[in-house]
Amino acid sequence: MNKLQVNGKRLWHTIMETADFGGTEKGGVCRLTLSDADRQVRDWFVRECESAGCAVSIDEMGSIFAQRPGKVDTLPPVAIGSHLDTQPSGGKFDGIAGVLSALEVLRTLSEAGYTTTAPLELIDWTNEEGSRFTPPMLASGVFAGVFERDFAYSVADQDGKKFVAELERIGYRGEKKCADHKLGAYFELHIEQGPVLEAENKTIGVVTGMQGQKWYEVALTGQDAHAGSTPMHLRRDAMVACARMVEAIQGIALNHVPLAVATVGLVTVRPNSRNVIPGSVFFTVDLRHPDDNVLLQMDSELREKVDAIARDTGVGAKLVNNWNVASMEFDRECIKHVRDAADKLGYRHRDIISGAGHDAVYIARVAPTGMIFIPCEHGISHNELENTTPEYIAAGANVLLHTVMTYDEARNKAMR
């Protein structure tokens, strides 16, 4: 079984097939959590998992669990997976490559007649992206005890539609209690979403941990007024305050280069009329750094800048820190198995810290966890231009396959 390989052509075809669910004119995917397109890909995914011989169940958060029996079904399953939801202008691979590579692993093992000691469980987590329902990684967070289920149910999108209502609308509020079973381990494959692997001509990233993140929402309140008859010195222009804050936020990251990043990704201006001075602006802030102490310093600088600019421009400012995740390290044994699999298969690899959040960051709280990165073209992600190659996808899936096999074998030996 050391030479067992996934069917790369089938895997690539599967990814392209799912891209039709929510596909965009520019070749990307818009498949927001609990949308009709999300329901369509879920229906497809359940059918494919059942065809692969898996028993499928759905938990109360809408996450899908497809389990392949092991020799000892009383053992906690070794889990693999990611997510199928996307950003509004997302690509074909973010999260999707992880779920469908995991499906290909199950198909490959079934065709080879190989049965692991512990069951294998493929998971599609609900609402990893957080683009429709904030915070992100919502279902894996409930599974790991980070969020209460009722809190998740109460979260609403920008149109006021609640998570639980949309979960029921698409028919994916399952009866299975969230976190009703333990996981023996969890492995997740993902595109890097950055340029490092491609720049260094490495095929595999052995993910050792994740950087810390803080998300904020800022509401600015000025005064709507006529654009032609209100003198500049008498204006309380919320958009001017926002523009100055955006520049200051970029400066915060530049103060902590090379590892700090800061992003204002969503802005809503009201009344949004060309001849009315904006009276209110809402925007989001995303701060990240692998050192939690530096991230706290960035947080302090953000608060100081927002307060100072609000005073200077005469607008009211309310800043809310609505999501935090600390930096973390993955399980050393899981990391070793990923690294060993890449070595055995002859793939060039390097250790790497994840700059993005993933379901794995929460699952690491309740199970030994590891991640595998593959390159993406020019490091572009969360974009319709997101791309990788069939060769990289197959390489990542092969590393996932052999990581799962060797991890299961090692645990079986330890039990003897």
* φ/ψ bin of 281: left (φ > 0), alpha (ψ from -120 to 50), beta (otherwise): beta
Task: State pLDDT tens for residues 350-401.
Answer: 999 998 889 999 999 999 999 999 999 999 999 999 999 999 999 999 999 9
Q: What is the Cα 294 distance to its own chain's centre?
A: 23
What is the arithmetic mean of pLDDT over 96-113?
97
Residue that the structure tokens 């490495």 belong to? 202
Boundaries of every domain in the chain: 8-211+327-415, 212-325
Q: How much is the average pLDDT of 400-411?
A: 95
Calculate the alpha carbon distances from 241 to 44, 229, 281 in Å: 47, 20, 9
- pLDDT of 414 reads 73
Interacting residues of 403 by C-beta distance below 8 A, sequence separation 6+: 187, 334, 337, 338, 341, 370, 372
Angle at which helices 238-254 and 292-313 cross, to 10°:
150
Instruction: Judge contact between 339 and 371, C-beta under 8 A.
Output: no
Cα 110 to Cα 114: distance, rounded to the nearest angstrom: 6
Phi and psi dihedrals of 202, rounded to 5? -110, 140
Strand partners, 321: 216
Average pLDDT over residues 200-218: 96
Residue 347's pLDDT band (boundaries 50, 70, 90)?
very high
Cα separations (Å) of 107 from 15, 120, 301, 361? 14, 12, 51, 27
| Rg of the chain in Å (alpha carbons) | 23
Record the tokens describing residue 400, joined without a space: 């996932």
Please provide the average confidence, as pLDDT, over all residues in the chain: 96
Single-letter code of the amino acid located at 222: G
Q: Using DSSP, how many helices (H) and how many strands (E) does the chain show? A: 12, 16
Q: How does pLDDT run across 39-48, given as a tens digit for each residue?
A: 999 999 999 9
Q: Check if the beta carbon of residue 117 is closer than 8 Å to that of residue 35.
A: no
Distant-in-sequence, close-in-space partners of 253: CB < 8 Å, separation ≥ 6: 260, 261, 262, 287, 298
User: What's this model's pTM, rounded to 2 decimal places?
Assistant: 0.86
Q: For domain 212-325, is the CATH number 3.30.70.360?
A: yes
CA distance linking residue 152 with residue 137, whole number of Å: 11
Residue 105 has pLDDT above 90, yes or no: yes
- Measure the CA–CA gap between 178 and 62, rounded to whole angstroms: 9
Quickly state the pLDDT bin for 411 (edges 50, 70, 90): confident
Range 126-140 average pLDDT: 96
pLDDT category of residue 416 using cuts at 50, 70 and 90: low
Q: Regarding the domain with residue range 8-211+327-415, which homologous superfamily does it belong to in the CATH classification?
A: Zn peptidases (3.40.630.10)
Q: Is the pLDDT of residue 229 over 70?
A: yes
Q: List helix spans (H) across 127-284.
A: 138-143, 149-154, 163-169, 196-199, 238-254
What value does the mean pLDDT take over residues 297-315?
98
pLDDT of residue 395: 98
Query: Is the pLDDT confidence value at 2 over 80?
Result: no
- Tokens linked to 132: 């429709």
DSSP 238-271: HHHHHHHHHHHHHHHHHTTTTT-EEE---EEEES
Counting every residue written for the chain, the total comes to 416
